[in-house]
Amino acid sequence: MSHPLLNRYPTPPHHPNDPRSRPRPPYGPPPPPDRRPEPLTRNVLMITHNPVLRSQGGATLRDFFGWYEPDELAAACIDDLHFATYGYARYSITEKIVVDGYPVKRDGFRYDEHSYLEAWRTRRFHEPDGVDYLRLVEEFNLIPRLNSGAIDEVWLFGHPYGGYYESIMGGPGAFWCNAPALAGTEHAHRRFVIMGFNFERGVGEMLEDFGHRAESILARVFEQVPPPANLWAQFIRCDRHQPGAVTECGNVHFAPNSEHDYDWGNPRPVLSRCDTWYHFPDLRGEPRPVTCQEWGDGAIRLHHLWWFRHFPHLKGAADGIAWNWWQYILDPNTVP
């Protein structure tokens, strides 16, 4: 399992002005129009912590370090999610708030300009790293905004070591969503997810955040379903966790042939039945050899799009579980 605080990871090589460095292949055939579920619109409040550095001529922290532009990241991620869900996900940033400051940690600590630049220089950052989520909920009136229907979820953008979880769920009946349920938000009228993004990172890492959100939610949907009827357990089969067995689609960190976390560029062939998921609910079909060429030769974004495009995405249901898994991922209120 990944550490849920994505902001702790080191900086990867990237192209500062290109959130999506490679065009996406047309993974998966689109479903017939009469089998497509009605698109779902999700209204998002986008909050960006991007303080101004007075000692650096008034440059923002993002500009000073040359990190990605949050608006471009958000737009590219929304477009990728629309593609990944065959047009089902229609995210809309309905409100943006830019904060000239640093988020407060759960022990009350808050960086200022000097302490953050010094931490970056020495690579010694404050612990505990995690933010005070209830303070964010109160500061930005999240519960009234959610209860009014103005927004459906929140996307936080910030600097490295901002302390955001990749995702966290609040509201009545909230459950693990790559982080513990956000206690103290039970008075909201419905469940909601707060995503946490680091603008040092790219769209591939944003999709990874959504991938872990999907893993958590789908594990919950299928938690009472025993094998072999548990389709989620079948979907995530990979050689690393079941050596020698026929694989399916793997999970966020492990492609069908991965030998360790993030091993999306492994050329080793394994037998996989991944193609059968394009024809769901008919999962009959013979396995075939697959390698990393199927999912982008190691590119994080392309692997995640390949993986997402295999999720069931049709109208219909069986045994009380929808054939469109995306409805649960995008709206946790549909999870029993």
Distance of alpha carbon 38 from alpha carbon 210, whole angstroms: 21
Answer whether residue 20 shows pLDDT above 90.
Answer: no
- pLDDT at residue 21 in the model: 65
* Nearest alpha carbon to residue 95 among 141, 164, 46, 159: 46
**Cβ count within 10 A of residue 248:** 23
Per-residue confidence band for 12, with pLDDT thresholds at 50, 70 and 90: very low
Give percent above pLDDT 70 in the chain: 94
pTM of the shown model? 0.94
Q: For 226-266, what is each residue's pLDDT tens digit?
A: 999 999 999 999 999 999 899 999 999 999 999 999 999 99
User: pLDDT band at residue 6, thresholds of 50, 70 and 90?
Assistant: very low
Give the span between the Cα atoms of 243 and 212, in whole angstroms: 23
Per mean pLDDT, which range of 3-17, 77-91, 307-321 is the poorest? 3-17
Taking alpha carbons only, the member of 109, 104, 112, 114 closest to residue 126 is 109
CA atoms within 13 A on the CB side of 295: 34
Question: How is the chain split into domains, by residue range?
Answer: 6-212, 231-334
The confidence score (pLDDT) of residue 23 equals 87
**CA gap 216, 39 in Å, rounded:** 22
β-partners of residue 59 are 53
Report strand pairing: 288-290 vs 321-324.
unpaired
**Contact status, residue 219 vs residue 232, Cβ threshold 8 Å:** yes
> Residue type for 238, please?
C
CA triple 241-26-72, angle to 5 deg: 90
Mean residue pLDDT of the chain comes to: 94
What element of type H or E holds 74? helix 70-84
Cβ contact 176:216 at 8 Å: yes
- Residue from 214, 297, 7 nearest 131 by CA: 7
Q: Which residue, 244, 253, 192, is CA-closest to 45?
A: 192
